[in-house]
Amino acid sequence: MTVRTRMHLAVRLPGADDTTVLTTGRRSASPADFASFERLARTAERGLFDFLLLDGGRSSPEHEGRVHDQDVVGRPEAITVLNALAAVTERLGLAATADAIFEEPYELARRLATLDHLSGGRAAWNVVTSSDASAAENLRRGGCPDAAGRYPLAAEFVQTSRELWDSWTPDGASRPFAHRGRYFDIEGEFTVPRPPQGHPVVIHAGDSSAGRELAARAADVLLADWGSGDGFPDRRVSRHGALEAGRSLRAEMKGRLAAYGRSPGELKIMPVVAFVLGDTAAEARERAADIHRRQFSARDAISALERIRGVDLSSYDPDGPLPDIAPDLGLDLDLDLDRDPNPDREPDPSPSQDRAQGRAQGRAQGRAQDRALDRARATDVATVAEKWWALAREKGLSVRQAAIEMSGRRPIVGTPEAIAAELDEGVRTGAADGFVLVPPATPGGLDEFVDRVVPLLQERGAFRTEYTDTTLRSHLGLAEPVWKG
């Protein structure tokens, strides 16, 4: 008898970015309201989810000095929130986004080990590598390293953290540690015993070649796209295309993992998926359209197209026709092409130069580096922008409608039965190990999925009917790492 592969499910609460989901009915009085986090966590645990992922954000995205209307301003630090959630949950994994560019290995490893102890082995770390000059300014670090420097730094950061966790023996004896590397040179005594899981689960989103290489080398979970294409309007993929892309990614990662002596089962591939439910397909589409409209205020719609077109559109009606105006390649352009133009190039071998150009560079130099990167990508971005602009004009879209269309937000939309079938097919055909869901609203947006979709997945034999263990590694089917003392 063939054993049915069961999917993993997680829920993501976005942080400081313009894809943040909306609150139900009205905005919460404060994004720091613990009741909202608690409700989402309790709902996820009621639905037997593997983990809750909290995004981070050290700055508020803005354009021309204006913060996005739907952005989250004032959200508390993720690990602090998860420590509190550990007290009101029992089995749910607790994943925090933390930036390898702005953290220090000793301090972050200590906080994650503490969370793993307080939660009884449910901690996870979503490793990100920021290129946000505004965040760097907040920390007085100037600009960020480019992709050639960010990913090697992150890989060494993870390695160093694991060395710190392993500086305690499994039976509770502390030993001195020393790490001598290109980016980190530290030694001393680690103050927290080895985490219950051995190491907290490591998560990484691999959209670029360099990001996937980091995931193959160091991650336990890879966050992926699900049918979003590569930014070009004529390359958006169908459901069948999403399945094919998922299987292609799995094959690619199998080869990358082998280069590090790892087996395919050591990395779980979980696409990030937004969803919108309805009693009928038509109702679901109507709800999705309404959500998109609410995600783009008039000001945000104008700002979004200004970042894509590189021109001032503030005099245009956001609900009026799309203007016939040429792009300005002299200004910063922005579209869903956040990739290094040459991610496979070798990094500069000089540590001192890396530090000078990365973490220690000044504010003005950081902004100049960002502009230089934009210019290097200008041809690709302009080509994509022109395709989108032509398609939007052909469809007769308004400014706001065009901003929605170009945003790349492609939720799966349908009845509970249809969404359960699509998720099940994704896992059953090998395109994914599970999914990280982004609810359409928070804090109550996950309730409908847990109440209406999870039972259907359980009926199909596609999802667990109870937790069988207590740690996040056990939920995900990941072995405890071997102690390397």
Provide the pLDDT confidence category of residue 384 given band limits of 50, 70 and 90: low
Higher pLDDT, 309 or 84: 84
240 phi, psi to nearest 5 deg: -65, -40
Cis peptide leading into 443, omega within 30 of 0? yes
Cα dist. 170→110, 177, 198, 252 in Å?
A: 16, 15, 8, 35
Nearest to 426 by CA among 275, 203, 282: 275
Residue 295: the pLDDT is 76
Q: Which residue has the tokens 């130069």?
A: 353
More confident call, 398 vs 133: 398
The whole-angstrom separation of Cα 149 and Cα 101 is 10
User: How many other CB atoms are there within 10 angstroms of residue 256's CB atom?
Assistant: 19
Residue 307 binned pLDDT confidence (cut-offs 50, 70, 90): confident
What percentage of residues in the chain have a pLDDT greater than 90?
A: 53
Q: Residue 57: its pLDDT value, please?
A: 63
Give the chain's length.
485
Instruction: Flag whether pLDDT at 368 surpasses 70.
Output: no
Average pLDDT score over residue span 332-356: 39
Question: Which tokens is 265 given?
Answer: 């089962």
The pairing of beta strand 62-63 with beta strand 66-67: antiparallel
The strand ranges marked E within 227-287 are 268-277
pLDDT at 25: 45
Q: What is the mean pLDDT of residues 405-416?
A: 82
Does the pLDDT of residue 19 top 70, yes or no?
no
Single pTM value for the model: 0.83
360-376 mean pLDDT: 42
For residue 378, the model assigns a pLDDT of 47
pLDDT, tens only, 121-166: 999 999 998 755 555 566 555 556 666 788 999 999 999 999 999 9
Model pLDDT for residues 117-128, shown as the tens digit of each residue: 999 999 999 999
| Average pLDDT over all residues of the chain | 80
**8-state DSSP, 348:** P
Q: Which range is most confident: 140-144, 164-168, 389-393, 396-400?
A: 164-168
| Per-residue pLDDT tens over the stretch 244-275 | 999 999 999 999 999 999 999 999 999 999 99
Per DSSP, what are the bridge partners of residue 201? 124
pLDDT-derived band at 452, boundaries 50, 70, 90: very high
Among 182-196, 218-232, 347-361, which is the least confidently predicted range? Answer: 347-361
pLDDT for position 355:
38
Using DSSP's 3-state secondary structure scheme, residue 434 falls into strand
Residues pairing with 11 in the sheet = 52, 437
Rounded to an integer, the average pLDDT of 207-213 is 91
Cα angle: 142, vertex 146, 152; to 5 degrees: 110
Q: Is the pLDDT of residue 96 over 70?
A: yes
Write the CA distances from 429 to 7, 10, 113, 258, 426, integer angstroms: 11, 20, 36, 22, 6
Place of tokens 């009693």: 279
- The confidence score (pLDDT) of residue 339 equals 35
Share of the chain above pLDDT 70, in %: 73
Strands 441-442 and 177-180: unpaired
Assess whether pLDDT exceeds 80 at residue 484. Answer: yes
DSSP class per residue in 394-429 = HHT-BHHHHHHHHT----EEE-HHHHHHHHHHHHHT
Mean pLDDT of the region 16-35? 57
Task: Give the pLDDT confidence score for residue 233 in this predicted structure.
Answer: 39
Place of tokens 């001195």: 176
**Would you state the pLDDT for residue 201?**
98
The yes-or-no verdict on residue 365 having pLDDT over 80 is: no
Q: Could you report the per-residue pLDDT of 58-88, keeping only the tens digit for each?
A: 555 555 555 554 555 557 899 999 999 999 9
The per-residue pLDDT for 292 is: 81
Kindly tell me if the per-residue pLDDT of 311 is higher than 70. Answer: yes
Residue with tokens 């998922």: 246
- What integer is the mean pLDDT of 179-196? 97
